Structure 1
Amino acid sequence: MSPPPLHASELAGLAWLEIDLVLRAHAPPRRAHPLVVLEALFKGVFEAAGLDARQVKQLWHSPGQSVHTLLWQAGSRIEITLQLFGLQSAQAAQWQQRLLSRFDPSAQPNFSLEHISPWRTAQLPSPPAEAGDLTLNFLTPVPLPHAPGQPRTALDEPGFLRLCQTRLRKLFGREGQLPPPPALDTSVWRYWRTKHHSRSQNGHPMFINGCLGPLILSGESLAAWRPWLALFAAVGLGERLSFGQGRFQFASSAAERTGPGAAPLRLRRPLVIDSDLAGAHVGLADANLVVSVDGQPVRKLPLMRIDHLALHGPCQISTPLLDACALEGIPVLMGAPGQTPLVIVGQQAEAQRYRRLAAHHAAHQALDRAQRARLAARLVEHKLAACTWLVRQRYQPGDHRLLAQLERARQALARSERSSVVRGWEGWAARHYHRWLQRRLQPLGDFQVRRHYGQTGDLVNSLLNYGYGLLRNHLARGIRLAGLDPWLGVLHEANDRHEALVSDLMEPWRPHVDRLVLRWVGLKVIRPGSFTEIDGQLRLLPQARERMVQDFTRMLERPPRNGSLRLAARIGQMLDSYADAAARGMLGDWSMPMPIAGIPGADDEA
């Protein structure tokens, strides 16, 4: 006989046990997603305590952290809240004992336990304030059953009720007497997926997937739903209890709905101006950026839509526009691809940048020779992983030899203790990789050896240089805004014109430009007729440069089909992580926030 349904008047009587932990990471997650790492950790404690999963349910989450921000480096603090439902007092002591033994220093765990709170009894939190519709901003994925012919973000009213009832039944043993379902707006939801290998499933690949971002609820029944939604905000929503899935926060304003947690509604985008038109002028008119030629407007865009402004071609820019960009926090970058850019930001951002700059200098000075070599090796290892991804994506018979050579270089990097050795292996692998690239770019012309700006007269190198120049300017801007010194590198040598750190942090992302160039050549977007010769140097025609800038920006900003972060966001994570490591004096332990070997977005259009 099924238990009676749970009524809204009974919600205040529901209770469960909660405990807060603060962990200190000893190393970043290498291959597994942080959700997988933490799930394995707490699942191991649960099983070691001898608890019965049919009687006791365990949930965990990192308050306020989304799947994209739940990252750590060596030395990072990680705050976790654990919730246990149906746990007896004697079992609580047993569970806590197993937890403490899990972090015994003699076992050399990946984390140390810095703080553990007393147990507390948690109850229904206060419902959200009465006001219009409600937005549930999902921080971790909530899986949905996939219906053929429907997008993976599709959720109907019966499906929403099923998500609610399943969570109630699993945690409290009773389904709820729920109100009529509200109206659902899933237009700004997005699908997210990551792959992992489950030891309990013989190492078979498994997937954590589901929907992230804002789910907007409205309708006459919304007032009756508020106490229920308050409960689900505390215990999560959805059918799966594992991997911290189904966690959301209430977002009540449009700003919250379109902020970092709502990437599909990015209102701000980069604006790149690269034109050979004489007399081009960039100015301000009624909170709009206006590009004019000979006094006639040719382009107009509201400032509120601009993430940053990049001026690659010769033009005039007005002082009112610079003032408005400074007030709006819009960085302005001046400099053609391949040149050292000038980046202008507002006063507050500039002051913060100088403070971080001092920390970067101190952290870089503290690196010894072995630490510099290891840091350089990590950057090259990530580059080779990305090269491997591209070769596999474009695989043809015989490419297994290159894959073996790239793997050999990656293994050798792990044993390198000097920067010169790291550079040697990087150059060796790059020569083999560029031969592979040459064969696939043959329709555009001969490409005997990789040459940089001012050293080449062939079409392929000119095209690669322009693509790398766009990437360089993007990294140069981000490095300056992150408060890092672009000349303090560990892999490349700096000089008056060469920003070593920009070249260092470009390395993992170069294969993305290579992939774009392969696509341009394969689709004949760029042809020999797309170039002209000026002063002995090949230069792309304005129409070709405009198309390349558009495609490059689209590559940075387009959400991958697998729901992972945009390329621009992943580069931003790398820069923030590097700056954070410098601020904490731990550059020697830095590595990528997420491994590049899997290349999120690799299932995008080739």
Structure 2
Amino acid sequence: MKKLLNTVYVTTVNAALKKDGENLVADVEGKERARIPLHILASFVAFGPILVSPALIGACSGAGISIVMLDRVGRFQARIEGPVSGNVLLRTAQYRLARADGLEVARSFVLGKIANQRAILRRALRDYGAEMGDGPTKDLERAAARMAAILRRAQLGDGTIDALMGSEGEAAMQYFAVFDHLIRSPDKEFRWTGRHRRPPRDPMNALLSFLYTLLTHDCRSACESVGLDPAVGFLHSLRPGRPSLALDLMEELRAPLVDRLALSLVNRRQLRAGDFRWMDGGAVLLSDDGRRTVLDAWQSRKKEERLHPFLRERIPFGLVPFVQAQLLSRYLRGDVDGYPPWFWS
């Protein structure tokens, strides 16, 4: 199994990253602030104007360490990586299935996503139902029941991607319609009015969007680590520059890895309204301190272990995308009969 290597997040504006021996060194205003051995790194992610030396780029490329450049608000700008080591036969099987009929793989992604969103609602009912009051409790119960029906329909659907996408969209509407009942923060700024992405217009949407960016990076790395092409998916349409397979893979992981972490950070008051910035154009962004809090929590979350329902062994959350990518590659090779989604409970 893949060793859980580290991802380093560089958030200090105008930091300079360089190679010194077999180490990544971060300098800020001419002073060394961090020194990390390259052999323990899987990737590093830089936010905003960060200087990366050519020597460090070369060393990372040769060692299989990916470099991801994001702007200060977390939007993707560039990715640097070394030669692709994917198995040509595996990728040929991936392309063939994507062109012909990837419906069953797409169905697994959708089933995993809906089931895990529903599990979030059921967990909230179990943990806090007695404190919510009759109105919110009934709303959550109705949404969970409707999502169960959508899940059955998706499993026994008419066999088209459009029908699957319709089921996924309907389940998402049910889920986000009651999402505000899951937020227990006293800060009125965290009240949920709907999903707004480009740009996020409230703190909760800003938090979700930031964490989804981190999950996309991990899913893309997972696809590449087993030799899959992250651009050729089965559920999301192909588009230049879009990592469609990485987006497919993250669908079943959004609710348990991102949504639950975001709710935990807000409900435990690790993040407050003061950790966000309201911009002139209406966008809401994490502050520098807020972003550091989220990154620390994200790294800690990835170390927590859960039982994998298919493998029947405990693995860290951070390895789930890599395990799922490996299971997908096994399906494409014909080693297993179908792609097993990761169901959270």
Q: Please, what TM-score do these two structures have when normalized by structure 2?
A: 0.83
What is the match of residue 518 of structure 1? 263
Distance 1:352 1:412 in 2: 36
The partner residue of 1:339 within 76, 80, 83 is: 76
1:550-565 matches, cutoff 5 A? 550-560=296-306, 564-565=314-315
The partner residue of 1:539 within 278, 282, 285 is: 285
Which digits, 9 at most, give the CA deviation of each residue in 1:444-499, with x for residues without a partner?
A: 43322212233x32222111111111111111222233333333222222333533
1:86-485 matches, cutoff 5 A? 268-275=5-12, 277=13, 279-335=14-70, 337-339=74-76, 341-345=78-82, 347=83, 350-352=84-86, 356-367=90-101, 372-395=102-125, 396=129, 397-398=137-138, 399-416=140-157, 417-441=159-183, 443=185, 444-454=189-199, 456-485=200-229
Q: Secondary structure at the match of 2:143?
A: helix
Deviation at 1:341, TM superposition (A): 4.6
User: Contact between 2:27 and 2:34, CA under 8 Å: does it hold in 1?
Assistant: yes
Which digits, 9 at most, give the CA deviation of each residue in 1:246-275, with x for residues without a partner?
A: xxxxxxxxxxxxxx6xx7xx6x42222233
Deviation at 1:513, TM superposition (A): 0.6
User: Contact between 1:441 and 1:460, CA under 8 Å: does it hold in 2?
Assistant: no
User: Contact between 2:225 and 2:322, CA under 8 Å: does it hold in 1?
Assistant: no
Inter-CA distance 489–468: structure 2 relative to 1 (3 Å threshold): same
What is the match of residue 133 of structure 2? none
Inter-CA distance 323–498: structure 2 relative to 1 (3 Å threshold): closer
Inter-CA distance 325–389: structure 2 relative to 1 (3 Å threshold): same
Aligned-partner residue type, residue 436 of structure 1: V
Inter-CA distance 487–327: structure 2 relative to 1 (3 Å threshold): closer
What is the match of residue 29 of structure 1? none
Aligned-partner residue type, residue 352 of structure 1: G
Distance 1:450 1:442 in 2: 18
User: Contact between 1:281 and 1:293, CA under 8 Å: does it hold in 2?
Assistant: yes
Deviation larger for 415-424 or 396-405: 396-405
Which digits, 9 at most, give the CA deviation of each residue in 1:99-130, with x for residues without a partner?
A: xxxxxxxxxxxxxxxxxxxxxxxxxxxxxxxx
Q: Secondary structure at the match of 1:565?
A: strand
Count residues in correspondence: 322
User: Contact between 1:338 and 1:465, CA under 8 Å: does it hold in 2?
Assistant: no
User: Contact between 1:340 and 1:497, CA under 8 Å: does it hold in 2?
Assistant: no
Which of structures 1 and 2 has the larger relative contact order (alpha carbons within 8 angstroms, sep 6+)?
Answer: 2
Inter-CA distance 340–315: structure 2 relative to 1 (3 Å threshold): closer
Inter-CA distance 505–351: structure 2 relative to 1 (3 Å threshold): closer
What is the match of residue 572 of structure 1? 322
Distance 2:198 2:87 in 1: 30
Q: Which runs of 5+ in 2 are unaligned?
A: 130-136
Q: Secondary structure at the match of 2:178?
A: helix
User: Is structure 2 residue 224 aligned with structure 1 residue 501?
Assistant: no
Distance 1:355 1:273 in 2: 37
Q: Secondary structure at the match of 1:394?
A: helix
- Structure with the greater alpha carbon radius of gyration: 1
Distance 2:87 2:52 in 1: 24
Deviation at 1:442, TM superposition (A): 6.6
Percent identity between the two aligned chains: 22
User: Contact between 1:385 and 1:596, CA under 8 Å: does it hold in 2?
Assistant: no
Deviation at 1:357, TM superposition (A): 3.6
Aligned-partner residue type, residue 314 of structure 1: P
Deviation at 1:289, TM superposition (A): 1.0
Distance 2:218 2:154 in 1: 27
Aligned-partner residue type, residue 558 of structure 1: E
Q: Which runs of 5+ in 1 are unaligned?
A: 1-68, 70-259
Distance 1:442 1:494 in 2: 39
Deviation at 1:514, TM superposition (A): 0.6
User: Contact between 2:17 and 2:27, CA under 8 Å: does it hold in 1?
Assistant: yes
Q: Secondary structure at the match of 2:151?
A: helix
User: Contact between 2:224 and 2:230, CA under 8 Å: does it hold in 1?
Assistant: yes
Inter-CA distance 313–374: structure 2 relative to 1 (3 Å threshold): same
What is the match of residue 125 of structure 1? none
User: Contact between 2:301 and 2:317, CA under 8 Å: does it hold in 1?
Assistant: yes
- C-alpha RMSD of matched pairs (Å): 2.7
User: Contact between 1:338 and 1:453, CA under 8 Å: does it hold in 2?
Assistant: no
Distance 1:460 1:453 in 2: 13
Deviation at 1:580, TM superposition (A): 3.4
User: Contact between 1:338 and 1:472, CA under 8 Å: does it hold in 2?
Assistant: no
Q: Secondary structure at the match of 1:352?
A: coil
User: Contact between 2:106 and 2:234, CA under 8 Å: does it hold in 1?
Assistant: yes
